[in-house]
Amino acid sequence: MSLYFFRISTGRYSGAADQPYEFEDRAAAWTEMTEVCANLLGGIVRSLKPNSEWCMELLDENKKPVFRVSLVGESAR
């Protein structure tokens, strides 16, 4: 089992969880991360502004990024 932390970034705000989560392996950590993102996505999209970004990262026990899911609102002009 390995320890992981979640970090969410939006604009200038970035915050990582203080408490680690334990997963059997990287595949299990990825599955949990995508499920959490899926549950949050509706609310995030409704408040996303043009030319902004929302990002969730899964960090290893040394708080180094392992996976990242990003949502970017881009203006065409």
pLDDT digits 0-9 by tens, 29-75: 999 999 999 998 888 888 888 889 999 999 999 999 999 999 998 88
Could you tell me the pTM of the whole model?
0.81
d(CA 31, CA 71): 18
Decide which of 10 and 32 is more confident: 32
Domains of the chain, by residue range, sit at: 2-73
Q: What is the DSSP secondary structure assignment for residue 19, as one 8-state letter? A: S
Calculate mean pLDDT across residues 12-27. 87
What's the pLDDT at 55? 93
Give start and end residues of each alpha helix (H) in the chain. 26-47
